[in-house]
A = this chain, B = another copy of it.
Amino acid sequence: MARTPTGAAVLQPEVTQAITDAVLHELAEQGYGRLSMEAVAKRAGVGKSALYRRWTSKHEMITAVVAEFSVSRAVLEDTGSLRGDLRVTLQAMIDWLTHPLFSRILPDLVAEGARNPEMAESARSSIGVPRRDRAEVMLRRAMDRGELPADLDVEMAMDVLGAPIYWRMVVRRAPVEPDYLERLLEYVLRALGAQDA
C-alpha cells in the first residue's frame, strides 16, 4: 500500500512506475531472500529515500508491488454468461502465471511463504483475498442468473478455478496446447455443476 505522503512531498507516478518495474525484475532475478533495497534503487535510478517514502520496509514494498501486479490482472468483466466470464477469467489467470517475470516470481514467493508465515499472511490478505473476492462476484452473478446451483460451494469453487492452471504451468511446467483453455473450460463448468456444462 502506498503511504500518504507526509508534509508537502508528492509521490511522482513515473518514479513509482520505475521502482515497480525494478522490484519485479529484481524479484525475478534474485528472489525474495536476496533482493536488496540498494539494488532496486540503483535499477530504478533513484535514491533509497524514494523507496522509503513509499514503503516502510522491503517486505511492505514487495507485498505492495506484487499485489498491485496481481490484483489488477484479476477479471471484473461481465460478459453476460458464466461460460464467457469463465473463459475471460481463465485466460487472465494463464496470462498472469505465464508473464515472463511473474512466472519466476510467484514460485519463489510461495517457497518463501512456506518458511516465513508473515510473508504468507501478507500474500493471503493483499493478493489472495482481493482476487478471490472478484471471482466470487462472477460466481454469484451466475448463481443469480440460475446458471449455477443455488447451493454452490463457493469457497471450493474458487480453488477449482485457479488450481489446474497453476498446477500445469508452474508446478509441472508442462506445455500448454492451443486447445488447453477450451478443454479446461469444459472441466470447470462440469465441476461447478453449471447448467451449460
- Nearest B residue to A187 via CB reads B191
Tell which of B107, B168, B174 touches A114, judged by Cβ atoms closer than 8 Å: B107
CB distance from A146 to the nearest CB of B (A): 18
Please name all residues of chain B whose beta carbon is closer than 8 Å to the beta carbon of A170 when the two chains form the complex.
110, 114
How far does the alpha carbon of A31 sit from the alpha carbon of B187 in the complex, in Å? 35
Taking a contact as CB atoms under 8 Å apart, the answer to whether B110 and A171 are in contact is yes
How far does the alpha carbon of A71 sit from the alpha carbon of B130 in the complex, in Å? 36
Taking a contact as CB atoms under 8 Å apart, the answer to whether A113 and B107 are in contact is yes
Map CB proximity to B onto A24-47 as digits: 1 under 8 Å, 0 otherwise.
000000010000000000000000
Taking a contact as CB atoms under 8 Å apart, the answer to whether B173 and A163 are in contact is no
Tell which of B107, B159, B190 touches A168, judged by Cβ atoms closer than 8 Å: B159
Please name all residues of chain B whose beta carbon is closer than 8 Å to the beta carbon of A162 when the two chains form the complex.
167
Q: Is A144 an interface residue (CB 8 A)?
A: no
Tell which of B124, B173, B191 touches A160, judged by Cβ atoms closer than 8 Å: B191
CB distance from A171 to the nearest CB of B (A): 5
Please name all residues of chain B whose beta carbon is closer than 8 Å to the beta carbon of A153 when the two chains form the complex.
183, 186-187
Tell which of B107, B172, B192 touches A128, judged by Cβ atoms closer than 8 Å: B172
Map CB proximity to B onto A155-189 as digits: 1 under 8 Å, 0 otherwise.
01101101110111011111000000001101110
Secondary structure call for the A interface: helix
Which residues of chain A (91-125) have a CB below 8 Å from chain B?
103-104, 107-108, 110-111, 113-115, 120, 124
How far does the alpha carbon of A111 sit from the alpha carbon of B170 in the complex, in Å? 9
Q: Is A193 an interface residue (CB 8 A)?
A: yes
* Known A128-B172, A160-B191, A167-B166; contact A111-B108, beta-carbon cutoff 8 A: yes
Tell which of B120, B160, B166, B183 touches A166, judged by Cβ atoms closer than 8 Å: B166
* Subset of 12 A-B contacts with CB under 8 Å: A107-B110, A108-B114, A110-B110, A110-B170, A114-B173, A124-B174, A159-B172, A162-B167, A164-B164, A166-B166, A190-B191, A191-B191
